[in-house]
Structure 1
Amino acid sequence: MTESKYRRLFDFIRYFEDESVQFCKWQPGKEVKDGVYSMPYCIYDEKLHTFIGAVNDCDILLPNYLNVLGSAIGTSNEALQIIKGTNDLEMLQAILTYYVRQERFCDGTWAQAAENKIFLNILLKLKECLPDDF
């Protein structure tokens, strides 16, 4: 990862700190034809999409994130405790990867991670853990 790519992630700290941001709006399910219904889905704020794109672009995600996490991750509160209590960059990367990839399996995961300050705390901890000259 290069400095400019990390710096780009840090630019999102203020976004995740902003209590007024609505990270997603849920589109309700509806009947599309007789007896066939669409499922509700999350329409994400454009800046959250930009953040996920920046995360994907900067090579921070770990392919072996489940091995690194083991059974360490559970609820959002447990994830926050791990984030706040670690200086292990690989663990922070694994937690970030977990939340980015879980969207494939559960709509709204990104919004939940943003609302519960998971993304914010990962960014703050990364910024704290990285050397000043990085």
Structure 2
Amino acid sequence: MTINEKCRKLPMIKTQHSPWGGGLQPDGISQLPFPIYSKEVTDWINAMYDLDLTDKNYFENMEKIKGKPVPKLTRDEILTRMTFLIRAERFCDGTIEDALNDGTLEALSVRLHEITKP
């Protein structure tokens, strides 16, 4: 399967808001807040890994595309941005939520499907 075919298999992701969990629990223990992502979002994250679409050098590549608008991004640059969001979530809960809420992730998803059409 070509990389464009893999990209087209990646689920489209829509702008949405994710509720947050955590806080003071019934047993009195306080838990740090965290976003509760929908099945759509978790399926998208899993597909990025399952289809091997993550950019292994995303950190270095992000420096090259910093500030570049979504409509100007290439296929590989979109995959870099998507990988960055997924990896950043591991260090900062809510990174993906911000990109979902402000439409960034949907714009990246739409652009990826547009430029990988046969």
AA in 1 matched with 2:76? E
Q: Distance in 2 between matches of 1:40 and 1:127?
A: 33
- Determine whether 1:103 maps to 2:97: no
Aligned residues of 1:68 and 1:90 also touching (Cα < 8 A):
no
Identity of aligned residues (%): 25
Write out aligned runs for 1:12-23 (5 A). 12-13=12-13, 16=14, 21-22=16-17
**1:76-96 CA distances to partner (integer Å, 9 max, x unpaired)?**
xx4xx522223x222111111
Q: Is 2:45 aligned against 1:59? A: no
Give TM-score, length-normalised by structure 1.
0.71
Q: Which residue of 2 aligns with 1:122?
A: 108
Three-state SS of the structure 2 residue aligned to 1:44 is coil
User: 1:8 corresponds to which residue?
Assistant: 9
Matched residue SS, 2:36: strand
Q: Distance in 1 between matches of 2:110 and 2:12?
A: 10
Whose relative contact order is higher, 1 or 2, with alpha carbons under 8 Å and at least 6 apart? 2
Larger radius of gyration: 1
- Given residue 111 of structure 2, which amino acid in structure 1 is its aligned partner? K
How many residues align? The count is 116
C-alpha RMSD of matched pairs (Å): 2.4
CA 1:96–1:38 in 2, change beyond 3 Å: closer, same or farther?
same
The amino acid of 1:5's aligned partner reads: K
SS state at 2:53 partner: coil
TM-score (norm 2): 0.79
Residue 19 of structure 2 corresponds to 25
Q: Which runs of 5+ in 2 are unaligned?
A: none
User: What's the CA shift string for 1:54-73, capped at 9, x where partnerless?
Assistant: 11111111110111121643
List gaps (5 residues or longer) in structure 1: none
Query: Contact between 2:62 and 2:81, CA under 8 Å: does it hold in 1?
Result: yes
